[in-house]
A = this chain, B = another copy of it.
Amino acid sequence: MPTSQPEPPQSAWKQRAYQIIFESDTRAGRNFDVALLVAIVLSVMAVMLESVAPINREYGAYLRAVEWFFTGLFLLEYALRLLVVRRPLAYAFSLLGIIDFLAIVPTLASLLISGSRYLLVIRTLRLLRVFRIFKLGRFVGEGEFIVTALKASRFKILVFLAAVLTLVTVIGTLMYVVEGGQHGFSSIPKSIYWAIVTVTTVGYGDISPVTVLGQTLASVLMILGYAIIAVPTGIVSAQMTSHRPAPAAPVYKQVVCHVCQAPDHKPEAEYCWQCGEKL
């Protein structure tokens, strides 16, 4: 719900800018989104290439220029978003607003802390916003189906994870005792790391048991890991099987809030139920 005092009418250019930056119903808005998507991908690729030593030697200066150019653009875009949105604070502290902010910080921070620049790959998370915009219902719905199934299973999955963590702690420690602190099992935390590598069937082989007792224990852990993968799979399968034929879902407006991206508005709603922005 909006605050009670009537908000000042937005100036015309603000409304226009809002349409372009936050919405994607107009041609200009769609073009803006596509340009944003390209900019995100290019800037992430620049920092990736920069991390490759031979490329860095050759083109490092150019890539850093590209990086600063895009960071400048994103900074400008962020300022614009704050300017044209009706309730800047609501946007700034929404999930998407925080991601937009975090996508700029690393490059700036790299002036102080070298290496932090690489963290700008967090920009890839911004792609999720563009994803939502391109949506046309389909992808958002499917994504929400998955999220709903995982949410409904969260207690079961937590219990399962707690059981797995207890298992790797106990077996990891046993292995430390059994292998006598040798063959890579140099401490309990490292042995627990090995147990996780094993129970998840990743199996790097950087640490592997050598003694007969250790290999026997490892075999038990592997077969356990092989069998209990059935548990989360069963949980999610059962959840998805049961939740498919949604029993007469409530009808919502086919819009998401342009500021906080909240979905599921009542048909008669005029304001976002989450941040109060006009829909």
CB < 8 Å: which of B174, B189, B204 contacts A48?
Answer: B189
Interface residues of A in 185-229 (CB under 8 A from B): 186-190, 192-193, 196-206, 208, 212, 215-216, 218-219, 222-223, 225-227, 229
CB < 8 Å: which of B138, B160, B174, B202 contacts A202?
Answer: B202
Q: How far is the CB of A184 from chain B (nearest CB, A)?
A: 11
CB < 8 Å: which of B53, B157, B227 contacts A161?
Answer: B227
Q: Is the CB of A234 within 8 A of B233?
A: yes
Specify the main secondary structure of chain A where it touches its partner. Answer: helix
| A118 interface residue per 8 A CB criterion | yes
Closest to A174 in B: B119
Closest to A181 in B: B51
Interface residues of A in 163-195 (CB under 8 A from B): 164, 166, 169-170, 173-174, 176-177, 181, 186-190, 192-193
Q: How far is the CB of A170 from chain B (nearest CB, A)?
A: 6
CB < 8 Å: which of B177, B193, B231, B241 contacts A242?
Answer: B241
Q: Is the CB of A222 within 8 A of B196?
A: yes
- Interface set of A (CB-CB < 8 Å, partner B): 44, 47-48, 51-53, 115-116, 118-119, 121-122, 124-125, 127-128, 131, 138-139, 142-143, 145-146, 149-150, 155-162, 164, 166, 169-170, 173-174, 176-177, 181, 186-190, 192-193, 196-206, 208, 212, 215-216, 218-219, 222-223, 225-227, 229-242, 244-245
7 cross-chain pairs, A with B, having the tightest CB-CB distances, nearest first: A234-B236, A202-B203, A238-B240, A204-B205, A200-B226, A205-B205, A51-B188
| Supplied contacts A149-B234, A227-B232, A238-B244, 11 more A-B pairs, CB within 8 Å | A52-B187, A53-B187, A127-B166, A128-B166, A131-B162, A139-B158, A142-B156, A150-B231, A196-B219, A238-B240, A242-B244
